[in-house]
């Protein structure tokens, strides 16, 4: 069997595909797995990713062929066709598109294969997803809904792999090990605690200014005089890293500069205790090790989608209104406000507390800086998905409701509610068990109270949804479009928008409410479908709440007996 | 119109020819110039095996090209038979696999079977500037023609390639192709092709359509 995995975005996204690749390898142990990536990354070793080979997509060459007049008009056209033919000739049984953009959608459609998972776009621009999880990625995540699953989980669930089996796995290479051994030997790095700092990223918006990094390192040194501090960078970042090392030396602080390849960086992470970074790629590499990750989520980093994927990672995020910004646009502010306010002192203090697992101390720190920053603690729930909670709100109704939202979405997308014996009780017990981490048994009263409030809110939303749905269905049954237009323009427009806001659904409904083209009826049917989906979601959430409440009640009764 | 002499040598000792007062390659070290020219154009040849070279000159750039890209298919085009004869004589063995084409007009180029075959697959067109001084406008027009970057060139390439005809037949593709190819009168072309073609290969249309869509995403 041959499988092709398509990952045509940045390096961090390729690393994020690791659990999906690992899951495929587990499911199809004898399969040849090829990984299609943009050409700048094709020099990565297939062995490192655990794939048979890495195929480059020559994006730059194709773009040059299109825009340069001295190139033949059909050069890129021919190259793309030849490339597609080459992929088709590989006779893939399964093509997996983990990229979710139009380019990869058309490409996946053009490759002939027995089965396809992930977005495909045909010649009429009609999408197919192969799994409800990829549809969720397009419809729900794309609509900026607040409570969403991590991209790693969506990819993994979308492939229908083993439940809760997400595991980042990269293989150390001989070259990487040799690089690190040489680095450790030459620098005499033998302290018990090793902190790795990767200060630079490929996106300036995600960088903490160097001055603040230097302050943070000074702070770390004050609290831990023995820890070995390693500044990690790629070869093209050597000048900045060396300058930082020099400036710290002037202040009497010794740090080591590690200019390593990706394989070398991975081997280094395996030998260290903590990673501090704003870089996406390195934190995903770290997810395959035991290192504690402290992520600075700056610029376009969206922690909900791409946060550090491991238990007990600390994520520090600015509260400025524009955060996270778009990947593709320049910063709209005069300076990068998200990083400008982040002092080295705060980063250093948080790093030390995180290194020592002092979550109570971090909570105090988070409280002190609550106006400007949010601190998140990551976890992987018993239901098998990653999530990050604001450490100030971990035992709050809002955090519980957000978690239940995710649980209900998973239930809905996996279509468990359609089973004859839908496992509300089982899922509820898993949630209950999981909640014990934050809501100790003694807090049952508080938990019951929060569940009661959530139940009441869900009942209210369910009622409103039902009313709107009934009216919309009635309007759609009419052959005349006028009632539908009335429906949108007058009757329920504001109700829908209010409900959308209340349920933190981004623009999941409202994007279908605009009547700026001739797709009014089509959009209304899509709205009807979205409303039904959210109605089902709320029903599931309600049943899960009831299940947890019952379990608490039964537990109390048993204790009384 | 012009006087051609072929009894000159470069400072490095290699035989040269002149057109009027100008040499058709470097008078100091033609081989060094040729190697640099190939190096400059190497990106054009990534993944390609076919190239048309405009301007035969003294032929050193052809030698450099054959040395750097072993096995490459070359059609060398010039408007002066004497230049071609010079190159064939001076580099007889090395250029034995090169197709030489002497043309006075665009029409002549479009009639050549080797050109027809080459535009049927991915190819590049390279210009050797020192050698095109004999009739610069002809070479510029030839370049646009062979790259299908002119109206006439697009006509020519499409006629040579049946797989491309459908590109302009599928209504849905028209808009995409128009923006991609920057050709103003595709509608007229579409009509013409629609009248001339009876058999439409829908599988091919779909493939072409998806390819165009991919290309469009690459430049969006």
- Cβ atoms of A391 and A361 closer than 8 Å: no
Predicted confidence (pLDDT) at residue A12 exceeds the cutoff of 70: yes
Residue B187, pLDDT > 50, answer no
Question: Average per-residue pLDDT in chain A?
Answer: 89
Cα–Cα distance, A311 to A261 (Å, whole number): 26
**Pair type for strands B73-78 and B15-19:** unpaired
Contact B124 A75 (CB under 8 A): yes
DSSP state of A481: S
Q: In sequence order, what DSSP letters do the residues of B171-196 get, joined into one string? A: HHHHHHHHHHHT-TTHHHHHHHHHHH
Q: List the single residue in A64, A67, A103 with the smallest CB-CB distance to B214.
A: A103
Cα A255 from Cα A191, distance rounded (Å): 12
**A residues 1..20 contacting B (CB < 8 A):** none
Higher pLDDT, A480 or A433: A433
Tokens in use for B131? Answer: 């050698």
Region B33-54: mean pLDDT is 92
pLDDT band at A263 (very low <50, low <70, confident <90, very high): very high
SS3 A274: strand
Residues of chain A positioned with their CB less than 8 A from the CB of B186: none
A69 reaches B (C-beta below 8 A): yes
Cβ contacts of residue A429 below 8 Å, gap of 6+? Answer: A547, A551
Residue A156 Ramachandran class (φ > 0 left, ψ -120 to 50 alpha, else beta): alpha
Nearest-by-Cβ selection for A80 from B123, B153, B215:
B215
pTM of the model: 0.87
Question: Taking CB atoms and an 8 Å limit, are B148 and A106 in contact across chains?
Answer: no
| The pLDDT value given to residue A534 | 95
Distance (Å) from the C-alpha of residue B51 to the closest C-alpha of chain A?
Answer: 11
For residue B53, which residues of chain A lie inside 8 Å, CB to CB?
A: none
Q: What is the largest CA-CA distance in chain B?
A: 62
Instruction: Give the gap in angstroms from C-alpha B14 to the nearest C-alpha of chain A.
Output: 30
Is 70 exceeded by the pLDDT of residue B193? no
What is d(CA A102, CA A108) in angstroms, rounded to the nearest whole number? 10
Do B47 and A72 make contact, defined as CB atoms within 8 angstroms? no
**Residue B1 confidence (pLDDT) above 50:** no
In B, which residues are within 8 Å of A58 by CB distance? 46-47
A84 interface with B at CB cutoff 8 Å = yes
Shortest distance, CA B144 to any CA of chain A (angstroms): 8
List of chain A residues whose C-beta atoms are within 8 Å of the C-beta of residue B206: 123
The pLDDT tens digits of the residues spanning A351-383 come to: 999 999 999 999 999 999 999 999 999 999 888
Nearest CA in chain B to A124: B172
**Inter-chain contact B211–A77, Cβ cutoff 8 Å?**
yes
- The mean-pLDDT minimum among A146-150, A247-251, B209-213 falls in B209-213
Angle formed by the axes of helices A520-560 and A424-435, to 10°?
A: 70
Cβ-contact A59, A41 below 8 angstroms: no
H/E element, A389: strand A386-390
Residue B177 pLDDT greater than 50, yes or no: no
Chain B residues in contact with A121 by the CB 8 A cut-off are 213
Q: Any idea of the CA torsion for A431, A436, A438, A439, to the nearest 10 degrees?
A: 100
Chain B positions with Cβ closer than 8 Å to A = 43-44, 46-48, 119, 121-125, 143, 146-149, 153-154, 157, 161, 164, 172, 180-181, 205-207, 209-215, 217-219
DSSP string covering A85-150, please? HHHHHT--SEEEE-S-SHHHHHHHHHS--SEEES-EE-TT--EE-SSHHHHHIIIIITTT-SS---
Cβ pair A61:B47 closer than 8 A: yes
Instruction: Give the nearest chain B residue to A109 (CA atoms).
Output: B210
Contact state of B122 with A66 under an 8 Å Cβ cutoff: no
Q: Which residues of A touch B214 (CB under 8 A)?
A: 80, 103, 106-107, 110
CB-CB under 8 Å, A67 with B211 = no
Q: From A546, A538, A548, A164, select the one nearest A383 (Cα to Cα).
A: A164
Give the C-alpha separation, A208 to A215, whole Å: 11
The CA distance from A106 to the nearest CA of chain B, in Å, is: 6
Enumerate residues 6+ apart whose C-beta is below 8 A from B159: none
Nearest-neighbour CA in chain A from B177: distance (Å): 11
> Would strands A292-297 and A274-277 be described as parallel, antiparallel, or unpaired?
parallel
Between the two ends of chain B, the Cα-to-Cα distance in Å is 49
Query: Per-residue pLDDT for A527 more than 90?
Result: no
Indicate the range of B88-92, B111-115, B142-146 predicted with least confidence: B88-92
Chain B touched by A66 (CB under 8 Å): yes
* Contact between chains at B46 and A58 (C-beta distance less than 8 A): yes
| Res. A26 pLDDT band, cuts 50 70 90 | very high
8 Å CB contact between A553 and A447: no
**What is the chain A residue with the closest CA to B158?**
A74
pLDDT over 90 percentage in chain A: 61
Supply the DSSP symbol for A196.
E
Give burial (CB, 10 Å; 0-12/13-18/19+) of A24: buried
Q: Could you tell me the two tokens for B37?
A: 């020219």
Q: Which of A62, A64, A78 to mutate to test the interface with B (most CBs of B within 10 A)?
A: A78
Residues of B in contact with A110 (CB under 8 A): 207, 210-211, 214
Nearest to B4 by CA among B27, B26, B23: B23
Tell whether A86 lies on the interface with B, counting CB pairs under 8 A. Answer: no
CA distance B219 to chain A (A): 6
Q: What is the DSSP code string of A134-189?
A: HHHIIIIITTT-SS---HHHHHHHHTT--TT---------HHHHHHHHHHHHHHT-
Give the pLDDT of residue A374: 94
Q: Spell out which residues of chain A touch residue B119, defining contact as CB-CB under 8 Å.
A: 72
| C-beta pairs of A35-40 under 8 Å, 24+ apart in sequence | A35/A4, A35/A5, A35/A7, A36/A4, A36/A5, A36/A6, A36/A7, A36/A8, A36/A87, A37/A7, A37/A8, A38/A8, A38/A9
In A91-110, the residues whose Cβ lies within 8 Å of chain B are 101-103, 106-107, 109-110
d(CA A233, CA A257): 8
Q: What is the pLDDT of residue B199?
A: 61
Instruction: Give backbone dihedrals phi and psi of B6, rounded to 5 degrees, phi first.
Output: -135, 30
The chain B residue lying nearest A84, using CA atoms, is: B211
Q: Between A67, A74, A84, which is nearest B148 by CB?
A: A74
Using alpha carbons, select from A468, A443, A477 the residue that is nearest to residue A552. Answer: A443
Cα gap A11→A20, rounded to integer Å: 15
DSSP state of B146: H
Contact A121/B at CB under 8 A: yes
Tell me whether residues B125 and A109 touch, CB distance under 8 A. Answer: no
> Of A448-452, A542-546, B2-6, B188-192, which one has max mean pLDDT?
A542-546
Instruction: Please tell me the distance from the alpha carbon of residue B190 to that of residue B180, in angstroms, as a whole number.
Output: 15
Residue B102: pLDDT above 70? yes
Rounded average pLDDT over A494-501:
87
| Nearest chain A Cα distance for residue B50, angstroms | 11
Q: Are strands A120-121 and A127-128 parallel, antiparallel or unpaired?
A: antiparallel
pLDDT for residue A183 is more than 80: yes
Cross-chain Cβ contact A73/B147 below 8 Å: yes
Would you call B215 and A76 a contact, using CB atoms and an 8 Å cutoff? yes
CB A395 within 8 A of CB A439: yes
Q: In sequence order, what are the beta bridge partners of A380?
A: A386
In the predicted structure, residue A229 carries a pLDDT above the cut 60: yes
Q: Is A71 on the interface with B (CB under 8 A)?
A: yes
Partnered with residue A194 across adjacent β-strands are A228
Tell me: pLDDT of B173 over 80: no
Backbone φ, ψ for residue A361 (5° rounding)? -65, -40
In B, minimum Cα distance to A121 occurs at B210
Size of interface A-B (CB pairs under 8 A): 92
What does each C-alpha distance from B84 to A308, B1, B55 come to in angstroms?
Answer: 65, 18, 9
Pairing of strands A292-297, A314-318: parallel
Task: Tell me the shortest Cα–Cα distance from B196 to chain A, in angstroms.
Answer: 22
Provide the CB-side half-sphere exposure for B185 (13 A, CA): 10
Question: Would you call A124 an interface residue with chain B, using a CB distance cutoff of 8 Å?
Answer: yes
Average pLDDT over residues A54-83: 89
Instruction: Give per-residue pLDDT as tens, A299-338.
Output: 888 999 999 999 999 999 988 877 787 777 777 777 777 7
- Between CA B30 and CA B111 the distance in angstroms is 32
pLDDT at residue A28 is higher than 50: yes
For residue A510, name the pLDDT band (cuts at 50, 70, 90): confident
């Amino acid at each position: 069997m041959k499988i092709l995995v398509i990952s045509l975005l940045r390096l961090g996204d390729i690393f994020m595909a690791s659990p999906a690749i690992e899951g495929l390898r587990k499911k199809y142990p004898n399969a040849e797995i090829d990984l299609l990536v943009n050409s700048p990354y094709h020099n990565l070793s297939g062995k490192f990713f655990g794939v048979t080979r890495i195929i480059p997509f020559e994006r730059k060459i194709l773009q040059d062929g299109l825009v340069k007049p001295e190139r033949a008009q059909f050069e890129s056209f021919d190259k793309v066709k030849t490339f597609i033919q080459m992929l088709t000739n590989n006779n893939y049984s399964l093509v997996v598109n983990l990229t979710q953009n139009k380019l990869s959608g058309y490409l996946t459609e053009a490759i002939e294969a027995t089965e396809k998972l992930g977005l495909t776009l045909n010649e009429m621009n009609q999408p197919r997803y192969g799994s409800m999880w990829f549809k969720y990625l397009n419809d729900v995540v794309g609509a900026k809904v607040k409570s969403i699953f991590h991209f790693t989980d969506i990819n993994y669930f979308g492939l229908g792999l083993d439940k809760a089996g997400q595991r980042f796995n990269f293989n150390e290479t001989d070259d990487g090990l040799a690089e690190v051994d040489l680095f450790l030997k030459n620098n005499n790095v033998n302290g018990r605690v090793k902190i790795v700092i990767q200060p630079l990223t490929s996106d300036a918006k995600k960088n903490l200014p160097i001055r603040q990094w230097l302050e943070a390192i000074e702070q770390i040194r004050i609290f831990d005089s023995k820890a070995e501090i390693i500044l990690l960078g790629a070869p093209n970042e050597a000048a900045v890293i060396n300058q930082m090392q020099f400036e710290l030396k002037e202040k009497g602080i010794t740090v080591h500069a590690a200019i390593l390849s990706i394989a070398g960086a991975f081997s280094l992470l395996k030998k260290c205790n903590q990673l501090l970074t704003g870089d996406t790629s390195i934190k995903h590499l770290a997810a395959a090790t035991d290192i504690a990750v402290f992520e600075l989520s700056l610029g376009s980093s969206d922690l909900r989608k791409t946060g550090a994927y491991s238990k007990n990672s600390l994520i520090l995020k600015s509260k400025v209104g524009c955060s996270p910004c778009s990947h593709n646009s320049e910063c709209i502010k005069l300076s990068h406000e998200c990083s400008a306010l982040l002092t080295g002192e705060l980063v250093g203090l948080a790093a030390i507390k995180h290194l020592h697992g002092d979550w109570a101390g971090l909570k105090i720190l988070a409280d002190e800086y609550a106006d400007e920053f949010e601190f998140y603690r990551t976890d992987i729930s018993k239901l098998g998905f990653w999530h990050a909670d604001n450490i100030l709100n971990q035992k709050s109704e809002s955090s519980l409701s957000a978690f239940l939202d995710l649980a209900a979405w998973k239930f809905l997308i996996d279509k468990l509610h359609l089973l004859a014996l839908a496992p509300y009780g089982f899922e509820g017990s898993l949630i209950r068990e999981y909640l014990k981490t934050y809501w100790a048994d003694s807090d049952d009263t508080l938990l019951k109270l929060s569940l009661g409030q959530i139940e009441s809110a869900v009942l209210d939303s369910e009622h409103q949804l039902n009313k709107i749905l009934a009216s919309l269905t009635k309007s759609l049954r009419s052959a005349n479009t006028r009632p539908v237009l009335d429906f949108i323009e007058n009757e329920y427009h504001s109700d829908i928008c209010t409900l959308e806001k209340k349920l933190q659904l981004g623009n999941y409904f409202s994007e279908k409410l605009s009547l700026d083209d001739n797709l009014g009826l089509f959009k209304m049917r899509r709205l009807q479908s979205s409303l039904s989906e959210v109605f089902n979601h709320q029903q599931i959430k309600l049943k899960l709440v009831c299940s947890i409440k019952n379990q608490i009640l039964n537990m109390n009764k048993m204790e009384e007996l | 119109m012009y006087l051609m002499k072929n009894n000159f040598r470069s400072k490095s000792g290699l035989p040269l020819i002149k057109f009027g007062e100008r040499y058709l390659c470097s008078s100091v070290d033609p081989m060094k110039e040729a190697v640099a020219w190939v190096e400059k154009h190497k990106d054009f040849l990534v993944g390609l095996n076919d190239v048309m070279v405009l301007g035969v000159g003294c032929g050193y750039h052809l030698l450099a090209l054959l040395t750097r890209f072993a096995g490459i298919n070359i059609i060398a085009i010039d408007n002066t038979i004497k230049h071609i004869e010079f190159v064939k004589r001076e580099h007889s063995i090395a250029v034995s696999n090169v197709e030489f084409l002497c043309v006075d007009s665009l029409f002549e180029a479009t009639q050549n079977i080797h050109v027809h075959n080459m535009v049927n697959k991915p190819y590049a067109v390279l210009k050797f500037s020192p050698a095109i001084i004999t009739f610069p406008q002809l070479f510029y027009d030839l370049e646009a023609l062979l790259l299908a970057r002119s109206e006439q060139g697009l006509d020519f390439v499409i006629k040579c390639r049946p797989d491309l005809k459908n590109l302009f037949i599928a209504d849905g593709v028209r808009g995409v192709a128009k923006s991609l190819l920057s050709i103003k009168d595709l509608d007229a072309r579409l009509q013409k092709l629609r009248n001339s073609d009876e058999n439409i290969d829908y599988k091919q249309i779909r493939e072409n359509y998806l390819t165009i869509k991919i290309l469009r995403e690459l430049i969006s």
